[in-house]
Structure 1
Amino acid sequence: MPYPADPIVLSYVQAEQLLKAQKQGQSSLELSPDLAISTVTVQLSDTGVVFPQGEQLSWQQVEKIKRADVNCFVLEAGGELDPIRFFSEDTNRMCSLMPTKRTPTMLIAGFTMHRIVDIDPMQDTLKKVATIAPLTGRVLDTATGLGYTAIEAARTAAEVITIEIDPGAQAIAHRNPWSRDLFTNPRITQLMGSSYDLVPTFEENSFDRIIHDPPVFSLAGDLYSGVFYQQLYRILKRGGRLFHYIGDLNSKSAGTVTRGALKRLQEAGFKRVVRHPEAFGVAAYK
């Protein structure tokens, strides 16, 4: 059961379940109010849906949710349905919480922040983390996003520092049920700002692991630069490991970026760089 204070967050997945139950004449249904984390029993009537705490959703609102494939929705206390999206004036980009069959991803300027074709965003996160396991000691996550990487790293690491440049992304994470631990786990420290600017302020040899999962090159080219890789090398401890998400290593579009990244990582000092096509990135060792 979710805590009473947790908002109800729904997507087309729950909407389809509700409409199917309505069509079958059911009077109640086990439904997730937090995008497949937990379930509650909701009551169905001719006018709509009633949740355990009394929140109500009309069938017209359910239809609206069903038609949206790039937005999740929060059911506000007054019965209003609010799409989880945010336009950031800092970056001039629209961010939204994009549903999948299970764990949501974030859509920024038309780009999804996780792989969603034949894979779940959480599975995507686990593949990235696995490339440099075990995650122990002090871990740096250079791009918070929804915080899945930071949350997973904090399961085994002593401390996780995670950086987010976009207030819009943090606003979306605040409303995402899957991001709750990002704000409650005491082992996670969030910093707002540019990784390009903040990483040089960290002490030399101060991290055991680094997860570098930047936006696509066209949105954050400076995070693929030799200068930035040199800073990542500087702050990583001897024997430390870095995972760098790049994209599909076997695709033509990512090929040029991959070759350049491999070359610059080696020039930055990393003694070994290993391709991990299953995680769409490379692991580099100091």
Structure 2
Amino acid sequence: MLGYYLHTINAKKALEAIAQGLSCVFLSTDLNISEQEFSISDQGLILDQDNQLSINELKKIVKKTQRIYLCSDGDMVPLEDRSSGYYKLVPTAGAPLLEISGVKMHISKGTDPFTSASEMAQQAVRKGDKVLDCCSGLGYAAIAAHRLGAREVLSIELSQEVIGLRAQNPWSSDLGNEGIEQRQGSSFELIGTLPTISFDSVIHDPPRFSLAGELYSEEFYREIFRVLRPGGRLFHYTGNPHVVKKGSSFVDGVIRRLKAAGFKNVVKVEHLMGVSAQKK
């Protein structure tokens, strides 16, 4: 682990323990993966000899409800990148979600980002598959595909900022496992370099249409169709549950272009805000 991850929920728990005069508290400092016991005093939280947080520092963390702080080597820094836009990890009851310039990049209502990404993977991936994961983000779908028994996963992500944040995210650490290849670059450009009929399944989770319209184009869908083997499956996240449920020119356009690219069995998957399809 890179350090200790603190946010509103566990900072508040530490403050409550201090107020009760307790000598220790159980906290998850790896973003809900595990829990361990830490010492506390009337001065604050003792993570280890080099990392001790005062009551005032804990109160500061509590106030920032949409922020995660990484505590290591005596420093406390937010998990964010403001170099171009505003990228940050946001705490949830499970895995953290990625937020870019105020837009949440995961389904988190009534679930958590890792669970919803796993359900997306389940729509397309079967044991033994070779999987293409376009626009990988924090890598949750790629990791889920690997855990479902995929023999090989190619994970493509364009943003260096996102790649930097996922390197600090404990939930993304399994991207380093054997069988997962990470590639930095444009899915739109890189897919053209991939061999024909070389994947069994594709997970496509692009940014909003306004940010990356080319990833919703018939041209790109034809490339996905080309690299899929006969019988191969696609899950395509489109976003906005209300739009997917009621139908709209946007989602209908996605379905129309997928069919024009050759896909069959194109079906809306409402609870995952996306569309599934198959190459016959």
Indicate the TM-score class for this superposition, using the shorter chain for normalisation. over 0.9
Partner of 1:179: 172
Q: How does 1:1-286 map to 2 (within 5 A)?
A: 5-52=1-48, 54-77=50-73, 79-88=74-83, 92-155=84-147, 156-182=149-175, 184-251=176-243, 255-286=248-279
Q: Does the 8 Å CA contact 1:248/1:277 hold for their aligned counterparts?
A: no
Contact 1:160–1:187 (Cα < 8 Å) also in 2: yes
| 1:186 Cα offset (Å) | 1.4
Q: Distance in 2 between matches of 1:186 and 1:53?
A: 35
**Alignment check: 8 A CA contact 1:41 1:51 kept:** no
AA matched with 2:78: P
Shift of 1:52: 4.5
> CA separation in 1, counterparts of 2:172 and 2:56?
29
* Counterpart contact for 2:2–2:168, Cα < 8 Å: no
Q: How high is the TM-score relative to the length of structure 1?
A: 0.92
Contact 1:9 1:177 survives alignment (8 Å) = no
CA offset at residue 54 of structure 1?
A: 4.8
- Distance in structure 2 (CA, Å) of the matches to 1:151 and 1:199: 20
Q: CA RMSD, aligned part only?
A: 1.7
C-alpha distance in 2 between matches for 1:159 and 1:41: 38
Whether the 8 Å CA contact 2:134–2:206 is kept in 1: the answer is yes
The 2-side partners of 1:127 and 1:277 are apart by: 12
The offset of 1:159, in angstroms, is 0.6
Superposed displacement of residue 254, structure 1: 7.3
**2:237/2:274 contact within 8 Å kept:** yes
Q: Which amino acid aligns with 1:8?
A: Y
Q: Deviations over 1:252-274 (max 9, x none)?
A: 89723211100000000112211
- Asked if the contact 1:29/1:43 (under 8 Å) is kept, the reply is yes
Letter in structure 1 aligned against 2:6: L
- Residue 86 of structure 2 aligns to a residue whose secondary structure is strand
Q: Which residues of structure 1 form unaligned runs of 5+?
A: none
* Matched AA of 2:77: D
What amino acid maps onto 2:166 in structure 1?
A
- Please give the alpha-carbon distance, in whole angstroms, between the structure 1 residues aligned to 2:110 and 2:210: 24
Q: Distance in 2 between matches of 1:164 and 1:139?
A: 14
Counterpart residue type for residue 71 of structure 1 = R
Rounded Cα–Cα distance in structure 2 between residues aligned with 1:109 and 1:63? 25
SS at match of 1:261: helix
1:263 partner letter: R
Cα distance in structure 1, aligned partners of 2:6 and 2:251: 37
Give secondary structure in 1 for the equivalent of 2:110.
coil
User: In structure 2, what is the Cα distance between the partners aligned to 1:150 and 1:107?
Assistant: 19
Q: Deviations over 1:153-172 (max 9, x none)?
A: 11110110011110000111
Looking at structure 1, the residues matched to 237 and 130 of structure 2 have their Cα atoms a distance apart, in angstroms, of 19
**Structure 2 gaps, min length 5:** none
Between stretches 251-260 and 204-213, larger displacement belongs to 251-260
